[in-house]
Amino acid sequence: MAAAETLLKTGEISAMIKQGYISSPPPPPFSSSSSSSSPPTATPKPTTTTLFQMISQQPQPDPSAADHRRIRIQDRLHRFLPAPGSDWGPPDVDLTVASPDGLQIRFGVHRRVLAARSRFFADRLGGRRAGGGSSVVEISECDDVEVYADVVSLMYCGDLRRRLAGEEVGRVLGILKVSAAIMFDAGVSACLEYLEAVPWSEDEEEEVKSVLEQFKLREPVPEVLQRVLVEPSSSSRADAIFLQLLSGILQAKDEKARRDMKALIFGLLSVDTSHNKDNVDKLEVSRETLYHLCHKCLSSLHLCLSEAAITGDSQRTKGDLVGEISRESDNLKWLVEILINKEMSDEFVMLWADQTELANLHSKIPCMYRFKISEITADLCIAVGRGHILVSKDARFSFLRTWLEALYDDFGWMKRTCRTFDKKMLEEGLCNTILTLSMAQQQDILLRWFDRFLKKGDDCPNIQRAFEVWWRRAFIRRYEGNHDQAQLQIAVCEYPTSRHCKYCDNQMFTLETEELTMGYLWFLGYNWLQCYTCDRTLIVSRLFRLKEL
């Protein structure tokens, strides 16, 4: 626009028009899709474009990113550096700061300011005379030209803390690094005071720690890091804190606060499990602390169920007992969820399987008050069915034998009233758990379920998939291990059962033989051989191949 207006004012356009140098723009060409034999169509008269419009519509070249940065830096320098006519007098140092990407800033500063505020510049400029022309100083390969210029302008500032107020933590860290590099002590102190006073985000916290550890700065660095600095602590000391926090939640009076803190602590413990597996310095809640709390909850739950099952109880009202049962069940369920998340719940499966007396008391309490106990069984079934809890076959069967009937009794109530209850997930976990048992144990559980399902219908878990798999195993894809093994024989061993001793060359004799099944057709055997001359023992491994007769 400015170029077009200049041409109009000078009259050059009028002269060009008179001399015929400017012609009207040609009409637009016909479309290539139109046929040559078609009759000509009337086209609208093309709009005449003036030279002024043509010039004004030309795209103006945008300044590059480097130009934008240079302009921004120059603006900041003009704001914070003294003007040439100020009390500082004319600048006597020509300072050039260049970055590896080609950005270069050149500005004038005063020797006495640089030498007084920075020991780096004092060494550079100390050997040069104060008068007789300006000095030239060039700082090349500067990582951040803008921050370097800011640091130089800070040397002219009387109140550095006020100047840094409102800056971002990342920018102040950049100023701190440059100030430390050029030994601008006042700038370093101002940055540290700023960092000690302002809040940090978690990302900024990591950056602050990294920068301060990198430069090994002196005081007041400990004051800056005080908010993140922890004293050396043992696992027992950390466990005492965990025990205090968890016990406080289990005994909380306000129900809403208790729910909120349970969700918070569970989330924090879950984050520790998933993100800090390789962190050897982390301190986690111990298995002993969690199981100590589990035993306390079990004892309280057993006491409450015993009192509630006795008619005519005069110590506590029925309502108090019911509330206590619900509370302790919920507490125990929360602890079990933590154990499962921490992969520490194998011991609890066996502990829960031993609670036969608690399971008997469970049946004497109304369903609406006891169903949270069955939620614990449901969580364990899901975890075992997913392979998250690894316990022996006998422990799995004992667990189901103790609590499966109670789970059946409460299933309908849980399905109708519990918003967090996932029916499909429980049925899937229950199927998978049952199918890990022996065929006799599967048959015992599934035949009982079959009778119950016919009576209760949807109020009983639908584990039809497990029943179908058991049926095929029992009647269709029958695997008779003893019969198959009777039809097999052991092939000749590749290694002799006796050999010569490598120490005295006398013959060694077999002491003992052990065979371990590796698969359907292979055995791994071990021979213990002894030399009677030098009394040395040798173990020889052998691989047997089973062949059908």
Percent of the chain with pLDDT over 90: 36
**Mean pLDDT score, 56-69:** 58
Distances (CA, A) of 437 to 241, 394, 401, 518: 41, 8, 12, 20
DSSP 384-448: HHTTSS---HHHHHHHHHHHHHHHHHHHHHHHHH-TT--HHHHHHHHHHHHTTS-HHHHHHHHHH
Predicted confidence at residue 483, as pLDDT, reads 47
Query: Are the beta carbons of 335 and 301 closer than 8 angstroms?
Result: no
Q: How far apart are CA 374 and CA 406, in angstroms?
A: 7
Predicted confidence at residue 403, as pLDDT, reads 96
Q: How far apart are CA 231 and CA 247, in angstroms?
A: 24
**Mean pLDDT score, 48-72:** 59
Predicted confidence at residue 334, as pLDDT, reads 96
Structure confidence at residue 309 as a pLDDT band (50, 70, 90): confident
Q: Which two tokens stand for residue 143?
A: 């990582």
Predicted confidence at residue 158, as pLDDT, reads 83
**Mean pLDDT score, 161-175:** 90
Structure confidence at residue 330 as a pLDDT band (50, 70, 90): very high
Diameter of the chain measured on Cα atoms: 128
**Mean pLDDT score, 150-172:** 88
**Mean pLDDT score, 476-485:** 62
Q: How far apart are CA 59 and CA 146, in angstroms?
A: 30
**Mean pLDDT score, 489-516:** 49
171 Cβ contact partners less than 8 Å away, ≥ 6 residues apart:
147, 150
Structure confidence at residue 337 as a pLDDT band (50, 70, 90): very high
Q: Which two tokens stand for residue 287?
A: 């298995």
* 2 vs 492, residue with greater confidence: 2
pLDDT mean across residues, the chain:
77
Structure confidence at residue 52 as a pLDDT band (50, 70, 90): low
Query: Are the beta carbons of 427 and 462 closer than 8 angstroms?
Result: yes
Predicted confidence at residue 511, as pLDDT, reads 45
Predicted confidence at residue 462, as pLDDT, reads 94
Q: How far apart are CA 516 and CA 60, in angstroms?
A: 84
Given CA atoms 26, 28, 32, 33 in this order, what sign does their dihedral have?
A: negative
Q: Which two tokens stand for residue 461?
A: 């878990």
- Rounded to the nearest 5°, which phi and psi values hold at 248? -60, -40
Q: Please, which contacts does 303-308 make with residues 24 or more away whose CB atoms are closer than 8 Å?
A: 304/328, 305/358, 305/361, 305/362, 305/364, 305/365, 305/370, 306/361, 308/364, 308/365, 308/369
What tens digit of pLDDT does each residue of 91-131 get?
888 888 888 877 788 888 888 888 889 998 888 887 655 55
The beta strands (E) that lie in 180-277 are given as: none
The beta strands (E) that lie in 99-257 are given as: 104-109, 135-139
Predicted confidence at residue 488, as pLDDT, reads 35
Query: Are the beta carbons of 375 and 418 closer than 8 angstroms?
Result: yes
Structure confidence at residue 19 as a pLDDT band (50, 70, 90): very low
528 three-class SS? strand
Domains of the chain listed by start with CATH number = 1-26+47-60 (no CATH), 65-227 (3.30.710.10), 286-476 (no CATH), 486-548 (2.20.25.420)
* 77 vs 59, residue with greater confidence: 77
**Which among 89, 112, 181, 107 is positioned nearest to 143, based on CA atoms?**
181
Residue 545 pairs in a beta bridge with 522
170 Cβ contact partners less than 8 Å away, ≥ 6 residues apart:
204, 207
CB atoms within 10 A of CB 532: 12
Predicted confidence at residue 461, as pLDDT, reads 94
Q: How far apart are CA 52 and CA 58, in angstroms?
A: 10
Q: In which residue are the tokens 């050396």 written?
A: 232
Predicted confidence at residue 172, as pLDDT, reads 92
What tens digit of pLDDT does each residue of 364-420 get?
888 888 899 999 999 999 999 999 999 999 999 999 999 999 999 999 999 888 888
What tens digit of pLDDT does each residue of 444-459 get?
999 999 999 999 898 9
DSSP 155-173: TT-S-HHHHHTT--HHHHH
463 three-class SS? coil
**Mean pLDDT score, 479-483:** 59
Q: Which of 25-39, 167-181, 254-268, 294-308 has the lowest mean pLDDT?
A: 25-39
Q: Which two tokens stand for residue 121?
A: 């510049």
Predicted confidence at residue 398, as pLDDT, reads 96
DSSP 342-357: TT--HHHHHHHHT-HH
Structure confidence at residue 467 as a pLDDT band (50, 70, 90): very high
Listed ranges 123-127, 145-149, 254-258, 321-325; the one with the highest mean pLDDT: 254-258
DSSP 118-135: -HHHHHHHTTS-SSSS-E
DSSP letter (8 states) at residue 153 = H
Predicted confidence at residue 423, as pLDDT, reads 92
Pairing of strands 93-98, 135-139: parallel
361 Cβ contact partners less than 8 Å away, ≥ 6 residues apart:
302, 305, 306, 309
Q: Which of 5-14, 206-215, 352-361, 461-470 has the lowest mean pLDDT?
A: 5-14
**Mean pLDDT score, 300-313:** 80
Helix segments in 24-82, DSSP class H: 51-56, 65-80
Q: How far apart are CA 5 and CA 14, in angstroms?
A: 13
Q: Which two tokens stand for residue 226?
A: 């005080």
What tens digit of pLDDT does each residue of 211-226 get?
888 876 665 677 888 8
- Rounded to 5°, angle at Cα 439 from 436 and 445: 80
Does 494 score more than 50 pLDDT?
Answer: no
